[in-house]
Every structure is written in C-alpha cells, then in structure tokens.
Structure 1
Amino acid sequence: MKKLIISVVSALVIIIVAYSAGIGYYAEKFQANTTFGSVDISNLTLPEAEEKIQEDIYSKTFQITENGQEVGSIQLGELEPELQTGEVLTETYNSQNPNEWITGYFQSENHDGGLMETMNFDEQKLNKQLANLGLSNEERTAAQDAAIEYTEAQGYYVTEAEEGNQLDIDKVKKLIMNGIQNGEESIEINSAYLEPELSSHDEKIDSIMEQIETAKNTEINLEIAGNNVTIPQETIEEWIYFDSNNEIVYDQELIYEYLGTLNDEYATYNKPRQFQSTSEGEVTVEPGTLGWSIDRESETQNILADLQAGENVSRQPNIVGTGYNTGGNDIGDSYVEVSVDHQTMWVYVDGQIVVETPIVTGQIGTDTVPGAYSIWDKEEDAELKGYNPRTERDYVQPVNYWLPFDDTGQGIHDAGWQSNFGGNTYQVSGSLGCINTPPDVMAEVFAHAYEGMPVLIH
C-alpha cells in the first residue's frame, strides 16, 4: 500500500512538473492547432509567426481561371502585399490562456478573418499582372446600365442592363485573400466582373418613367377661336428631357415651335383673307394690322406650368392682336370698308350700312396701301405731322377727327381742303395715303368708330 501511494504521488509530481513546463513553454508561444488563415502558427513565438505568415503569403502562387479556362498564374510576392499582422497576432496571442495549453491539443483555433484586415495590395501592380495575363479592362466589354431611350416610333422606353466582363479589382483582391485564407491554389474570376449600376427595375428608372407617364398623360386642351385642340401625348414626349438630377425638364423651343404650328392653322394675323365686299363681290384683302395670334412667349410659360402641375386643364391661350373671337371671324359685323377703285367708304354696324360716302385715297406714288387693318386710336382736334415726298417738305395739318389704323401713318380723317371727293380726284390731288373724308360726314364716321374696329381696304 505504501508503494502504491508513492507511485501515485510521483506521477502527480511528474504531471504537475510537465503541466508547469507547458505553461512556461506556451507563455511565449501560440498554442497547438492555431492557424492564421491557412498558415499553421502552432508553437511559434509572435515574431516567428509573423515571419512564417509573410513567407507563406509571398510564396503563394495562384492559377487564374475564367469561366473554367486557365489564363495564367500570379505569384503573390510579385504584388508586394503589405502585411501588418503584428497587432492582430498579438491580440490572438493574448486571447490564449497558457494555463489551458493542454486544450490546444484537442481543439483547433483558426483566426481566418484577420488576414483580410491586415493585407493590402498595390493596385497598380495587380492591374499590371492581370494585363500581362491578357485580362486588361481596356480590352474588355464594360457593363451597360439600364437606360431610358426615346424614338419617335416608340416614345420613351427602358433598355435592359447588359453584363460586361470588365474586372472589379477590389473583388479580385478579395478573391485572392479568400484563396489565401482557404488554402486554395486556383482562383475563378468570373464572379469579379463589374456589374451594371442601374437595372431596368431600379428605383431611379421607375421614378423617371413614372414622371414621363404623368407628364405625357397630362391633358392640355386649348380653346382657340371656337376650336378645341388637345396637345397630343407624343408631342409632349418630344418636349421631355432630363437635367443632371434626372428631373424632367421641357424643351421650351419645341413648345414655342408647336405654338407656331397652331398659329399657322388658326391665327389670322399676317394672313390674306377673303372678304365679301359691298361693290365687287368676294375680294382678297392683303394682311395689315388686323388679326390675332397666340402669344407664343407667354403661352410657352403657361404650358410649362400646366405640365409641371400635372393636372388636366382646358383653357383659352394667351392672344395678342385684334379681332379675336370664338367664331373665328376677326372682321365681324361692324367694320369700315374702303374701295380704292370705287373711291368709296362704307361703315357697317351690326351688319348694316350706317355711312356711305365718297372719299379720296392716296395719289399715285403715295398710294393708300390695301390691307386688313384696325383702328388703334380716336383723336379729336389733332395735328397730322410728317414729310411730303411730293413737295419735299415737312407738313403740319390740323384736322377735326383722326382715326389711325396702321403703323405707317395711314388713317381716316376729315379733309376740308379737298374741293371734290370720289371719282378721279385721287389721281390729281390725292392724299399721302390717308382716307380723306368729307368734313360733314367725318363726324358721323367718328361717332360709329371704336378702337379695334376693322378697316378693310381693297
């Protein structure tokens, strides 16, 4: 019994001594079964572990494959990786308890995340190595983002994103580091392609297409002289483009041009017109100051506001000129008519002749210019001033009544100096272009006239 006790005590002493020796040994070394990435650093001091990790990484050679085809190899040392493993290794070392060194022989401890944080490549060197293998992005197809395109046939539509085969160097780096940590000898790079930034279902694409749909579906109805004109959807689409923030803006020049087409179709300004004359049947009256058109400058801004509001609207456009009405006839039933051939003037009010009188128009050389005009002022006791090209002198002529109707000085006024009216008087003592009217009639003409009243001279 005594011998048994001595043997047990001796064994315990040996175990204690061995355990204590192990504590002393692992006080400065990593425990058994410790790996850093794929590098076994068991039983190594911190400097020895760091040196081994660096030697192992620098000696690594990887076969590079793309879509299963081998394209070459890269030796990691040629990339001159920068390793700063000291801090991570020290942290790993300090996390191990030397008093528990025995457990290291029964379980492994792998610090596989630390390598990612401590290694960095020279990107230029990696690019050069890839280029040497024929993997330069300059010779590869870039990924194409989904985009919004426009054609007259289709309007706006989305083109799908397209995959390319240019390499994302950051992804290649991660593949290499993962390969190091996992002890791989081959790296497949087809998972490191640069991806399109925008897909056809991206929120930005959806948002822009939604803006386009809202804009083109905005119903803008213009009531033009009794005609209802709804701006077509395809026309609105033509006006759309996008600023740097991908916000819809509208081409104001195209809107302005579109309004020009409406003027061509509906406006009366600067257009000849057919007129049922008193003495000659239907005649053509040349353009003058009479007439209206859409105010393209201000109406462009109105349409912009309508589109930006995105609400359906029906309204009359801004109009400039004279004679605008919903019936489309800018002459109406009240007007002044002058026949140069007949040297006669008629004043119509509500379709009825209220004044008919002989007159004297411009003498040959200072002819009265035919056209469709409108009275723009009414003045009593006026002084007409100007230059007489026949006498080559300036003149000042007082008159009792003055009704100007164009922008060159033509108008209707009394002419007490004329001894005769009508007939051929205009050929020998005609005016400088005005409508000379008998004084006893001019007061009545003046009484019926109003600003904006059409004056038709033919």
Structure 2
Amino acid sequence: MKFKINKWWVSVIVCAIIIISYMGISIFFANKFYFGSKINSINATGKTVDEVNSEIEKNIQLYTLKIEGRDKFESEIKGTDIGLKYKSGEKVKRIKEEQNPFGWIKGIFHGTDVTVSEIVEYNEDMLKEEIDKLQCFNDANVVEPKNPTFKYNDKGYEIIDKVDGNKVNKDVLIKKISKSIIEGKRNFNLDKEGCYEKPQYTKDSKEVKKAKDILDKYCSSKITYDLNGKKEVLDGSVINEWITVDDSYDVNVNKDSIINYVDTLAAKCNTIGDTRKFKSSLGNMVEVHGGNYGTVLDKSGEVSFLQNAITDGQVTSRTPEYLQTAFAKGTDDIGNTYVEVNLGTQHIWFYKNGQLITEGDVVTGNVTNNCATPAGVYRLNYKERNATLRGENYETPVSFWMPFNGGIGIHDATWRSAFGGNIYYNGGSHGCVNAPYDVANAIFNNIEPGTPVVCYS
C-alpha cells in the first residue's frame, strides 16, 4: 500500500521548520551581536556586550601607537606609558541595542563595521612627556624649513629651491596624536598628518619668480665711470652684494652699500685738501698742504643717480657729478694756469697756459699780529672790479679784488710804496696778498674763477 504525501502538508512543515529556525536564531542573537558585526576591528559576531567590552579593554591595555616620519624616523607611544584606560562600555551596549535580533539575516549580506571613538581616556601630562622624548625634537636632528633662495653667477640669478626640513610643530603634533589615540588608531605618519612646518614658498611661487626677474634686471645694470681719465666699471658682480630679498620676496637695494661705493669713488676723485708736490718758479719742489682747491664729488647726487640707474637696469657710460672740479685732470690737477705765491720770498707769479703773464713782489699777512696768509692750494672764488674791503677796524677801496680763501684774496694796494722783503712781519696785511697795481691789473684781466692759487713758504 502506497502512502501518498500531500504537497500542502509538505509546504506547511517546511515553513514551520524555517520559522522555528529563524525564531531560534533570533532568540540566540537577542543578547549577542549578529553576523558580520565588527567593533573597533574586533569580530563581535555571536559575542555579548560584555565579551566585546572585555576584548576592547584587552586591546587597549596592549595599545601602541607607531609613529613614523621623514629621515627614517620611527618611534612609538604605548598606552601603558600614558595611563590609557577604557572609559565606558555604554557605546558598545548602544550598538547592540540598535541591532534588531530579527534582522540577523541582513548581517549576513551587509555586516556592521563600527569604529567607536572617545571610549578611552589618558593622562595628558604623561602624553606630553612621551612626546617630548621623541627624537624629532632633539635639536641636533632638527633641520629648519627654508624658503627658496637666490644665487648669483655670471649669467644672472639661479633659484635654489626650498628646503622642507624636518622640524615638527609640537602643538599640532600633540593635537593630532591625541585625536589618533582617542580614535584608536595604531599608526601615525607625521607627513600625512601635517605635523611638519613647511616653507611658505617654492621655486614656482609667483613671488619667487617675480623677485628673480627684478634681481636679474638690477644686476644687468652696467655703469662705466670716467674718473679723471681712468675707467671703472660697476656691474652685477658688485651690485648683487648690495641687494637684499626679504621674507616676502620684496627686493631692495641697500642704500648704505651705494653710499659706501660712492665714498670709494670720492676717494679716487677728490683732490681737495690733498698734499701736492709743486715745482716752484725758483726751480725747487715743494709740498703744499691743505686749501680748498681740487675736485669734490657730489656724493648725494651720485647716490641718487645710482639708485635710479640700478632699479632701471641702465647700461651707460658716465662722468660723476661734482660739486667742484679742478682746472686740470690727473695727478697734477693744478695744471699750467695758476697763481703762485711764495710766502717766504714775498713774490707772486701768474701763469696762463704755461706762459708767465706777470710777476712781482707782494706783501702778505702780518705775522706779528697772527694774520699770516695761510699756505695751501686754493681756488679763485670770483673777481670784482672796484670793490671796498671791510673789516673790524678798516674800510679800504681797491681796484681789483680776487678772493680765494674766505675773506682773503689778491688785490692792489696803492697805499703801499714798497713790496717784498720783510714788510709782512710787522707791516703785513690782515691776510690778503697785497700786490702792485700793474701786477694786480694783469692778473685780474687774465684770470678766471676756479683758477688755482698756490701759497707756500
């Protein structure tokens, strides 16, 4: 006899088995995490909240944060060294409460992977002590970050790229490490976490490129000076030493450097007050000290010119600006047009273009009254016809007045009946050179302002 199974009953039985199995598994997961559950990388499937908390606590006790950075730097901070401990298991409990026991099937296909943060606490002072011990804070190992710099060569400027260095910002590091510990991270990279201090600029920064263009322009300047017949070239090989670039890549030419350079020009050009070797009309060589004759560079004007010339990148030939110039160029800037006064022999000569125009005896300043005519090489200030000379106790009209040293000058002295000899010792002038009328007249008619007047003993 065959037993005939009703298909309907089979379906009912199968459904009952499935329902009973589902309910049984759901009951199993009522207090346990269902399939695919991970909490802070711990497999929580089938585990109770207490079991998960226990494993998390165990992991925390074994916690180590591995740190790495530039120059093969490696170190670690252990949880035991900073008083790390599990703060609360309530968050794990809440995760379990959010799992519907009847939703365990969903876990098979879509697991729950949760990272629970802020479940630990630590001693901040202990953490700072551990961070202070890191070798990256050893001064001997620290390389400061450096912005791009410039190097000058005969082709212009070269940009030397930035130096990243390895200097760690401690405040940033403490903040980032604290966050990593709270989040339970095990690895920490100083570079990825942005803990290194960085240069502000790179060689491709617009500020750097702009500064290079300006530097190249300034050092393309070339000024060829004519210094009394001698050539001196000022170009980038010198100018580059005067240029500074600040932290914002603003380019400046140091004015003090320009002033110092102009001082060297003045030392080569200026002859005022120099000691000169002079061949007298008597044939002997004499040394003449002091006086106001000679070349004087206009320092202020030349500094101003160079400031503009350099910033404009000028290439030019130039004769410097002078406040006054000598009659002649070169070492012997007295030349062959001059007045010669021999204070010892009380005699005067006037040469023009090498030719003797006139000569004669004179009377110079009164030695006894401390009014002696001072020695030196002077320049004729101006000449004046029919002048009146005034002093503290006198007022004297003269036909020819030719001052060369303040109130001291050459003039006629028609009130004198004799010149030369030793008259000047006791009967000399207030400092002027008294000359016979015809001598003064001849000098006046042939001399020009600026002509050297050489007075010597």
Task: Tell me what 2:398 maps to.
Answer: 399
Task: Tell me what 2:366 maps to.
Answer: 363
Structure 1 contact 143–163 (Cα < 8 Å) conserved = yes
Rounded Cα–Cα distance in structure 2 between residues aligned with 1:21 and 1:313? 102
Task: Tell me what 2:128 maps to.
Answer: 127
Deviations 1:382-437 (A, max 9, x none): 332334xxxxxx33323233221113x21112212211123443334221211112
Task: Tell me what 1:450 maps to.
Answer: 448
Distance apart, 1:266 and its partner CA: 3.1
Rounded Cα–Cα distance in structure 1 between residues aligned with 2:73 and 2:269? 70
Report the CA distance shift for 1:124/1:215 in structure 2 as closer, same or farther (over 3 A): farther
1:25-40 alignment runs, 5 A limit: 32-35=35-38, 37-38=40-41
Structure 1 contact 216–233 (Cα < 8 Å) conserved = yes
Task: Tell me what 2:269 maps to.
Answer: 266
Rounded Cα–Cα distance in structure 1 between residues aligned with 2:322 and 2:179? 73
Deviations 1:270-326 (A, max 9, x none): 212233433335433322111113222332232233332333332222212232666
Structure 1 residue identity aligned to 2:356: I
1:8-407 alignment runs, 5 A limit: 8=11, 11=14, 32-35=35-38, 37-38=40-41, 59=61, 61-62=63-64, 64=66, 73-75=78-80, 78=83, 102-108=105-111, 110=113, 126-131=127-132, 137=137, 141-146=141-146, 161=163, 163-164=165-166, 170=172, 184=186, 195=196, 197-198=198-199, 202-203=203-204, 215-216=218-219, 218-231=221-234, 233=236, 235-323=238-326, 330-364=333-367, 365-387=370-392, 394-407=393-406
Structure 2 contact 143–165 (Cα < 8 Å) conserved = yes
Task: Tell me what 1:431 maps to.
Answer: 429
Report the CA distance shift for 1:457/1:256 in structure 2 as closer, same or farther (over 3 A): same
Structure 1 contact 274–282 (Cα < 8 Å) conserved = yes
Instruction: Give the RMSD, CA atoms, in angstroms.
Output: 5.3
Structure 1 contact 39–56 (Cα < 8 Å) conserved = no
Alignment gaps of 5+ in structure 1: 388-393
Structure 2 contact 77–130 (Cα < 8 Å) conserved = no
SS across alignment from 1:78? coil
Alignment gaps of 5+ in structure 2: none
Report the CA distance shift for 1:139/1:280 in structure 2 as closer, same or farther (over 3 A): closer
SS across alignment from 1:260? helix
Report the CA distance shift for 1:2/1:174 in structure 2 as closer, same or farther (over 3 A): farther
User: TM-score, structure 2 length as denominator?
Assistant: 0.71
Distance apart, 1:439 and its partner CA: 3.0
Structure 2 residue identity aligned to 1:144: E
Report the CA distance shift for 1:140/1:370 in structure 2 as closer, same or farther (over 3 A): closer
Counterpart of 2:414 (choices 413, 416, 423) is 416
Structure 2 contact 340–350 (Cα < 8 Å) conserved = yes
Structure 1 residue identity aligned to 2:143: A
Tell me whether 71-80 or 51-60 shows the greater mean CA deviation. 51-60
Tell me whether 59-68 or 427-436 shows the greater mean CA deviation. 59-68
Deviations 1:341-369 (A, max 9, x none): 34333333333333333322223232211
Structure 1 residue identity aligned to 2:401: W
Say how many residue pairs are matched: 437
SS across alignment from 2:374? coil
Structure 2 contact 346–420 (Cα < 8 Å) conserved = yes
Report the CA distance shift for 1:135/1:350 in structure 2 as closer, same or farther (over 3 A): closer
User: TM-score, structure 1 length as denominator?
Assistant: 0.71
SS across alignment from 2:405? coil
Rounded Cα–Cα distance in structure 2 between residues aligned with 1:200 and 1:405? 63
Structure 2 contact 66–75 (Cα < 8 Å) conserved = yes
Tell me whether 192-201 or 412-421 shows the greater mean CA deviation. 192-201
Structure 1 contact 61–73 (Cα < 8 Å) conserved = yes
Structure 2 contact 73–136 (Cα < 8 Å) conserved = no
Report the CA distance shift for 1:376/1:188 in structure 2 as closer, same or farther (over 3 A): closer
Rounded Cα–Cα distance in structure 2 between residues aligned with 1:225 and 1:198? 50
SS across alignment from 2:130? helix
Structure 1 contact 242–249 (Cα < 8 Å) conserved = yes
Distance apart, 1:224 and its partner CA: 1.7
Rounded Cα–Cα distance in structure 1 between residues aligned with 2:164 and 2:223? 38
Rounded Cα–Cα distance in structure 1 between residues aligned with 2:338 and 2:122? 91
Distance apart, 1:64 and its partner CA: 4.7
Distance apart, 1:17 and its partner CA: 9.7
Rounded Cα–Cα distance in structure 2 between residues aligned with 1:56 and 1:142? 37
Rounded Cα–Cα distance in structure 2 between residues aligned with 1:99 and 1:313? 94
Rounded Cα–Cα distance in structure 2 between residues aligned with 1:377 and 1:98? 119
Structure 1 residue identity aligned to 2:230: N
Structure 2 contact 60–79 (Cα < 8 Å) conserved = no
